[in-house]
Amino acid sequence: MTQQQSSALSVEGLTKDYPGVRAVDNVSFTIKQGAIHCLVGENGAGKSTLVKMLTGVLQPTSGSITVAGRRHCPRNPQEARDGGIATLFQELHVVDELTVKENLTLGMEASRFGFLVNSKTDEVAIETLATIEPSIDPEARVASLSVAQKQILEISRAASSGASVIIMDEPTAALSEREVERLFAVIRRLRDANVTVVYISHKLDEIFELGDDVTVFRDGKHIVTKPLDEVDGRQQLIELMIGRTVFQQYEPRDIADAEPILQVEHLKTSLLKDVSFHVNKGEVVGFYGLVGAGKTEIARAIYGADKFSGSVRFNGKEIGPTPHDAIAAGIALVPEERRTQGLFTNLTIRENVPVMNLEKISTTGMLSPSRERQAAEHFVAQLGIATSSIEKHTEKLSGGNQQKVVLAKCLFAEADLLLLDEPTRGVDVGAKTEIYDVIKALANEGKSICVFSTELEEILGICDRIILLYEGMLEEELLNGEDVDIAHILNVVTGGAEHKGQ
């Protein structure tokens, strides 16, 4: 950071009220030109709301924004971009029906008299995409891409927009290590080109690896802005964020003599190649692999959400072929994508929670409103869902709190086996710990849990046993403990083991 840094963006007394909530509360700070500025805070701290105001999606209740010395009050994303701000939003926003290339240039097309013409932007975008993930075909329809690939597509779009400030709201939530590395390279290159990057993430390691400065939010308020060099490690940052320290470490549990509850043999789908494993009673099993390694496929197959060949036996019996049968047998799933697969976003928390266990809220088909309300209130309290009421539409919750509602749904099913696909995606450190505590408590009660995650830290933190996947194959199984070799694990999931084995 040798160049003389001027202010790229500053906010002054910025406030945003939702009905009943002050999401952003009188916030003032400055972001330096050409820096990677990280924004951290717990779920619901107000980060996404701030971003939305910067990009014209929301109008501030009060306060002002200044970009490159000029007053900035965009009324829509187009105006924000004209003002030099491009954004990568927390939720995926791609058009499935268009091709990758068409998506890359959406809203930035060059045209003459309304006719589309090729331009430099297209080339830059395609180039950026190739840098991060060369395997994506620009002519492919976006509908055929995986979630991660769509995310990469969006990153490329933002990165190639030519804006002087690029905001990224949790860009790596769905990415694997390998892709994260490539993304970081792109971000650093942007910085070298004097582009300012505002980076939001719950993955603190990324913050330290990438960031120049950090701003901490708590409860909608600005806590501090300072260079990361001046932050004294992870623990201090966490303290700033939540006002206390948390520490996550695996403690070995005694489950040696537990009997198997789930037996999976010769599981095959278009992606999975003959996967066999078992899960014991009271055990937490982690499935780790890169994007597309097959974690989600395994979870969905066990759950009856997708077709497969092979045998899946639970408590000694084959499970029926639908999620309904799986739930009846005592299995519940937290799906990978909360908005499209987990939540009923236009229904309230109360209406979301009971869906997987109808018996508990009804007698002979009639709903019991009181039992339903109790259930919702119970989980709002247990999982610390930040909301003004159980009657709040889940659409209006922050990302992390939405995830908690999905978890509540799943817990309400009172299943013996929980399949958690990316259970803490988009969840803040504090809440993460809470969720891990819930998982551990459940395991101690004798429930079995499968965690499918792209976050190694998470796998190592809570799982008793770890299953490593690579391109649809089960490569290795290992017990967790102090002696696990992280380098080895990374080697295996990136295809190293296969190479070695031949």
Binding-site ranges for Mg ion (CB under 5 A): 48, 90, 295-296, 336, 399
Single-letter amino acid code for the residue at 63: G
Nearest approach, Cβ of 175 to Mg ion (angstroms)?
A: 11
Nearest approach, Cβ of 125 to Mg ion (angstroms)?
A: 25
Nearest approach, Cβ of 365 to ligand ATP (angstroms)?
A: 34
Count other C-beta atoms under 10 Å from residue 184's C-beta. Answer: 17
**Is there a contact between 217 and 28 (Cβ–Cβ < 8 Å)?**
no
Residue 147 binds: one of ligand ATP, other proteins, Mg ion, none (C-beta under 5 to 8 A by kind): ligand ATP
- Can you tell me which of 131, 341, 382, 491 binds other proteins, judged by CB under 8 A? 341
Joined tokens for residue 274: 């003959």
Nearest approach, Cβ of 138 to ligand ATP (angstroms)?
A: 14
Nearest approach, Cβ of 91 to other proteins (angstroms)?
A: 8
Please give the distance of CA 99 from its chain centroid, rounded to a whole number: 24
- 38 SS3 class: strand
> Please, which residues bridge with residue 110 across strands?
117
Residue 164 binds: one of other proteins, ligand ATP, Mg ion, none (C-beta under 5 to 8 A by kind): none
Question: Considering beta carbons, is residue 290 or 361 the nearer one to ligand ATP?
Answer: 290
> Please, which residues bridge with residue 333 across strands?
419
Residue 291 binds: one of ligand ATP, Mg ion, other proteins, none (C-beta under 5 to 8 A by kind): ligand ATP
Report the C-alpha dihedral over residues 52, 57, 61, 64, rounded to 10 degrees.
70
Those residues with Cβ within 8 angstroms of residue 338's Cβ, 6 or more apart along the chain or in another chain: 399, 402, 403, 406, 425, 426
Helix, strand and coil in the chain, % to nearest 5: 35, 25, 35
Question: Considering beta carbons, is residue 269 or 296 the nearer one to Mg ion?
Answer: 296
Please give the distance of CA 67 from its chain centroid, rounded to a whole number: 29
Subset of 91-150 contacting other proteins (CB under 8 A)? 93-98, 102, 106-109, 111, 114-116, 135, 144
Rg, Å, the chain Cα set: 23
> Please, which residues bridge with residue 17 across strands?
22
DSSP state of 301: H
Count other C-beta atoms under 10 Å from residue 74's C-beta. Answer: 20
Subset of 149-208 contacting other proteins (CB under 8 A)? 157
Nearest approach, Cβ of 157 to Mg ion (angstroms)?
A: 19
Interface with ligand ATP (CB under 6 A): 18, 21, 23, 41, 43-49, 90, 146-148, 271, 289, 291-297, 336, 386, 396-400, 426, 428, 454
Stretch (H or E) spanning 443: helix 429-444
DSSP state of 348: B
Question: Considering beta carbons, is residue 76 or 194 the nearer one to other proteins?
Answer: 76
Question: Considering beta carbons, is residue 114 or 501 the nearer one to other proteins?
Answer: 114
Give the interface with other proteins as residue ranges (CB under 8 A).
Answer: 19-20, 55, 57, 76-78, 81, 87, 89, 93-98, 102, 106-109, 111, 114-116, 135, 144, 157, 303, 305, 322-324, 326-328, 333, 335, 340-348, 351, 355-356, 358, 362, 365-367, 373, 388-391, 409, 413, 471, 495, 499
